[in-house]
Structure 1
Amino acid sequence: MSAGKLSKIETGKVRPTFQDVDLVLTVIDVSQEVKEEFLAAARAEATDVTAWRLLRRTGPWKP
């Protein structure tokens, strides 16, 4: 991960991907238990973002 991307994640300009979260947690050497909790939250967030993006694209009135 580049320093620029990390900076954008820190300032909130870009949302971190699941892979970004995994990489940062690995680099700072958190315990596996804590890492699993953060990764579960990141996975849930990515799922929500994708669902809202699809809903916005198709609209709630289309099947």
Structure 2
Amino acid sequence: MLSDAQWAVLEPLVEACRPKAKTPPQDLRRTLSAILWRHQNGAKWRAIPRELGPWLRAAQIFIR
């Protein structure tokens, strides 16, 4: 999971490039943690731990 310090750095960057007309993603911090976990571990999307949220949401956000 992203620490508070890491999220404080990332959140303004994400918000700056996110399309304003779109509804904000739910639990974006947790979803970004899932994406990072997957890439750090070289795992498949479906292997993301449940506590990091639905794997499909992480995969969709990553693809976008």
**TM-score, reference length from structure 1:** 0.31
Normalised by the length of structure 2, the TM-score is 0.31
**Higher RCO (C-alpha 8 Å, min separation 6):** 2
